[in-house]
Structures are given as structure tokens and as C-alpha cells.
A and B are shown apart, each in its own frame.
Chain A
């Protein structure tokens, strides 16, 4: 099963290496990883997507907790949360099918952010199903390249996963 973890870490050099190293060394799989600073500049938030069984997940969380620079881990998987990923898709497009592709983009509320004679770049934001659906459709025209940010997530409502209310 896929789990989404929000991990609050100290914003120090080497912390990403500690987390990534832990995963590879213990044979845990990271599906996606997104890192950015929080409002408090001394902290970063990592959103990790992990494909694991329940027992492995328990180990992942416990081992992460042992890292001195890790402050807090929240499992967002089973909580109501907003999950998003931003994806840039470069798709083959010519004069004949360009408007067709534009229509698909519109339907998905995606943006065309670059146009050339042979291609378009489409920027799409959404959850996994949405991204999968548009990717499937665009594949029909020929996808040239894809770049993804990895998933980020926040709990719904006023509840937070922050550390001590920052």
C-alpha cells in the first residue's frame, strides 16, 4: 500500500542525505519525495510517498524518528487531506491536433505554458488520478518528456502537522 508521510526536519546540511540514506540502507522504497522550507526557516518539510506493507511502514517511521534531525512524522494516509502534485508534460503537437490537445488541457484545468511548432508543454496540478488520467490521454499524441515535483499534502481543516505551532 502507498503511504504519505509528512516529515518535519531541521533545515541543516546533510539532512536529506540522512533520510534518503536510511531508506536505501534499510531497503525501503521511496515513491516520491518533495522537500521545502516551512514558515520557520530553520525547519523543512518533507513529503514522502512510501510503498510498503504495514510492518515495514512501522519500521520506516520508527527508524526515521531515530534520526536526531527529524522532529516530527505524521502519517497523512488515512486522514482527510489534500494531496497535490505538479507535473510538466511535453507532448507532440502540430497544427492539426494542437487545438484538440488544448481542449483536453482545459478540461483538466491544466495550462499550456509553452508552444512550439512540434510540441506543447502542459502544466497540470492535481491528485494522482487526475494526473494519471491526463497522462493517459496525452500519451495518445506522443509524450516527449515529463517532470514531476512529487506529492505534497496538508491535512484538511484547521488541524496541522506542525511542530509546536509554528
Chain B
């Protein structure tokens, strides 16, 4: 079958069973977009390439399938950079096709030329510049394989215009042959046996679960392990949906804004089982004093994560789900009763707290708790970045894997709203909420047009504190309240913005208005923006100040 390069891309997408592409057209991808005109695959046009790539990321996190993106050369490609880096940091599988100037023009500073393979070298799992159309089928096959296996990540294919137009025989390979790429899935049985032995002997064990649990589909195995051994589980931001938040053994999130009892437990543990987590500095605090008394077992699919930040006693390289199911066969109930009692005491001593005066200013935490109540914890949630993100992690209890998407590694403001569109596109019948900050939402607010245009009925709950709240909190706490460039009082009027785009805009200022606003949003068929006017100077606690160990928390103003 002789096909043009552009046609090959669409054929390959069909064979990879891709049903949805996110993108934005331009001169260097005209052949690709011409093929889209009568292709089966759906295309969602964003209003900014960053919106497209975050949407593809959200689609992937909600579905487990790779996100697919098209963008043109030069500015189209560079507009993707933040989204690619976001996906790379959070190990999200994506295949990105960018247009490029024609091969004879490469290197001449041609119109809309940017060296996107050079630019994205450090933020892709791998990338390709296609110089011969005959290689295109193999390259696309490899790209999908690399993106979706081992530790997942974004792969970019740069397609010069003449390659899109050139013809060659198309035979899509069944197999890949990549001699330098060979992920390990099965854990080492000897190491697993040693781990099981340590687990059964531990008196103060804690499971520390990260995004790897969600990505490998190991939530069932994790739950079984926790219940059969009686070991409590704390999760990272990325791991939140990997363990039911309301479970007796759930400690909530650990780290900088983790719960008091999760941090105390990790600090005091004699054994830490790290599962698909990478000891990020937001988790460990001062790393030399992290879990000082604990032996550490680390299960991860990426060997480079093991021993990178902390010393590990038992490394196990492999797929988290496969390793946990092997581990389950060898573990027994541990004697954790006294330990669990101790944790309950910590929980009682310093619960998460805020004070909602029924007639007073609206507390942001109250909005999140109400949102949890009104959705029964069943919604798909994305967040932007800032205080609202941390309150979501603290107060919303996630019970289903892949029900939460947030930019954990890169901390990208502007991620959450477009990501929610991707989640909605992946799971059209489910309720999707984006919990946004008034600052972050404005970074990709233009995607309201995409939501309305494609009938993606996402609900945006803006926790509007009229500040870049997280930055303001740091300035208040560590820079003597010298508020520098953090005020957002000038608006815009988000209700009017929503209406201007053709969405429903609602506002709630009093506690009594929260429930009704949420219910109205949930009952509405289309996209809704709710402007929750919350107390401006509320802070997130507990907080591990930078440079401190995680048991040295500031527990917050008592009210």
C-alpha cells in the first residue's frame, strides 16, 4: 500500500486504536490536517497548543491510553513545551506529532523553524526527527511502544512538511526491535522474599505509595496487601487515587502539606515500603533526616529511581502490580496493633482543621469538603497548582484509581482546566470537576471555548482567594508579609467570562450558597464555572518548612 507520510500517521493511529487527537493546525501540518478532514479518528481543536497537550495528558491519566497531539512547527511546537515537561515529570504516556519545515530547509532558520527535537531532548522519553518517509511506520510503532511501556512518558515525532507529502510503501510493523530498550517487569524473587521477611517482622511499618500504583493498575493489590498485613498506607499527591482515602488504613498524603499523622508515622517507622514513588523533595523534606529509623524497601519500574535520593535496603526493580502480587503470596499479618493505636493518637492530637462560621467568610476547605459530599467522592477531579491543590489533596477523599489528575512533578499552573477536558473526553459519562485557583485558571482560560464547542460539560470550581495564594503564604511566612506581585483583586468577573464563552457562570460567597451552587452545576448539562469567593488569607497547614525534617511541621493557627 503506497501512502503519503501524512496518511501513514492516520493509518498508524487507526492501527494503534487511537480514537482521539488533541491539536492545533498550522502551515507545517497542513497535509496532516487535510488527512484529518475525513478520518475516523476524532480531533479536538484547543485554543492554544498548551491546552491541547494538557488535555491529551488528562485524557491519558483518565483512560490509561496514550495521549496524542498534533501541532505545527515553530511556535506551535514550542507552545507544547510546558505540557511535554509536565507529562515527562509525571510519567504520562503521549505521542506528539509536530510539523517541521521541509528537510532541505532544516538548519537555515527558515520561517517557523524551531529545533523541537533539540528543545525537548531533556523532557521527552525519546524523540525522532523523520528524514526519510520509509522509516515513518517503524518510528511511529516505536514511539507508541516506548511511550506506553516501562516507565511511561512522552515521545515526540518531528515531521518535516515534505515527509508528510512524500509517498512510500506502508507496512505497519507488528513487532519492535529496539536493542537499547528493555524494561524489567518481573521483580527479583529473592529480593521479594527478603522484602516479605522484613514486612512480617516489622513493628512500625508504613507503605508509601506513589503514582506508580495508579499507572500500573496496582490499586487492588495494594489494598489487599494493606488489609492482609495490617500495614497503613500514606500516598503522595500522584498516588492519591491509588488507595481509598476513606479506608481505616489510609493515612492521607505525606510530605510538605501532608497530614500530621502520616508524617509522624513515616518519621517514626521501622520499615518503609515505597511503592512506585520516587522520594521527591516535597515528600522527604530534609532528606538526610527522612525516615531515620526505617529500613527501606523500594519497588519501582525505573532502576534509576532506586538509590537516587535515599539509601535503599531492598531494591526491587519491576512493575509495581506484578511485584505486589508476588509479594502478596509471601506476606502474612504483621503485628501492627500497637502501631496503629499510636497513629490514631497522632490523628486525634492534630486533625486537619479549619473553622467555618456559618455566617462568616467562606473557607476554601469547606468548599472542597462540600464538593466531596455532593459528588459522593465519585467525580473525576483535576486541580491547578497552589493552595487549592493542597486543600484538595487534604480534604477530598479519592476512592477510585485514575480519578485524579494534578501536575505533581512540574507543578504547572494552567494544567488542571485543559486536563479536565481531556478526562471528560476520555470518560464522557462521568462527572468531571476542575478545582482551580483564580490565578491558575487564567493561564488557560481560553479553553472555555473548547469546552463549550465540543460539549465537554466540565465543572470548574474556582477557589477564588484573590491571590496567588501559595506564593502569598510563603511571603507571609518567610518574607515578613511583604506581598510582592501576588494580588489578583482586579478580577476578571469569572461569571461574566463564563457567560461570554457560552458556559454557565455561578457565584457563591456564603457557606449556605455552596451546596446549592454545586448541585446546580452538577445538574447542568454543559460546562459550568463556579466562582467561590473564599477567605483571601487562609493558609495551608500542616506545613513542613523548607529545609526541615517532615516531623517538624507547623501545625497552623488554632481557631
Contacts and interface: CB of A to CB of B under 8 A. Distances in A.
Interface of A: 9-10, 13-14, 17-18, 21-22, 25, 55, 58-59, 62-63, 65-71, 163
A100 to B, nearest CB: 51
B121 A163 contact: no
Contact of A10 (B129, B146, B180, B302): B180
Nearest to A67: B180
B303 interface: yes
Contacts of A59: 304, 307-308
Contact of B303 (A10, A55, A62): A62
A67 B117 CA distance: 14
Contacts, number: 39
Contacts of A70: 180
Nearest to B179: A71
A13 B107 CA distance: 14
B122 interface: yes
Contact of B180 (A14, A63, A71): A71
Across the A-B interface, the 4 shortest Cβ-Cβ residue pairs: A62-B304, A68-B126, A71-B180, A68-B181
19 contacts: A9-B180, A10-B179, A10-B180, A13-B129, A14-B121, A22-B122, A58-B307, A59-B307, A59-B308, A62-B303, A63-B304, A65-B303, A66-B304, A67-B180, A68-B181, A70-B180, A71-B179, A71-B180, A163-B179
B180 A69 contact: yes
Interface residues of B, number: 17
If over half of A's interface residues share one DSSP class (helix, strand or loop), that class is named, otherwise mixed; here it is helix
Contacts of B302: 66
B118 interface: yes
Given A14-B121, A25-B122, 18 more contacts: A14-B118, A17-B121, A55-B307, A58-B307, A62-B303, A62-B304, A63-B304, A65-B304, A66-B304, A68-B125, A68-B126, A68-B146, A68-B178, A68-B180, A68-B181, A69-B180, A71-B180, A163-B179
Interface string B117-156: 1100110011001000000000000000010000000000
B318 to A, nearest CB: 15
Nearest to B153: A66
Nearest to A25: B122
Interface of B: 117-118, 121-122, 125-126, 129, 146, 178-181, 302-304, 307-308
A17 B178 CA distance: 19
B184 to A, nearest CB: 11
Contacts of B117: 14
A71 B125 CA distance: 16
Nearest to A59: B308
B141 to A, nearest CB: 14
Contacts of A55: 307
Nearest to B181: A68
Contacts of A67: 180
Contacts of B308: 59
Nearest to A43: B179
Contacts of A68: 125-126, 146, 178, 180-181
A161 B308 CA distance: 26
Given A55-B307, A68-B146, A18 B180 contact: no
A46 B304 CA distance: 21
Contacts of A25: 122
A59 to B, nearest CB: 6
B287 to A, nearest CB: 13
A53 to B, nearest CB: 13
Contacts of A65: 303-304
Contacts of B121: 14, 17-18, 21
A98 B118 CA distance: 50
A62 B118 CA distance: 22
A59 B125 CA distance: 17
Nearest to A163: B179
Contacts of B178: 68
A71 B177 CA distance: 12
A14 B120 CA distance: 12
Contacts of B304: 59, 62-63, 65-66
Contacts of A21: 121-122
A17 B122 CA distance: 10
A163 B125 CA distance: 23
Nearest to B155: A68
A17 B180 contact: no
Contacts of A13: 129
Contacts of B126: 68
Contacts of A58: 307
A83 B181 CA distance: 29
B138 to A, nearest CB: 13
A58 B117 CA distance: 27
A51 to B, nearest CB: 19
B201 to A, nearest CB: 28
Contacts of A62: 303-304
Contacts of A9: 180
A69 to B, nearest CB: 6
Contacts of B179: 10, 71, 163
A71 B181 CA distance: 8
A58 B307 CA distance: 9
A62 B179 CA distance: 16
Nearest to A70: B180
A14 B121 CA distance: 10
Contacts of B180: 9-10, 67-71
A2 to B, nearest CB: 21
Nearest to B125: A68
A92 B303 CA distance: 52
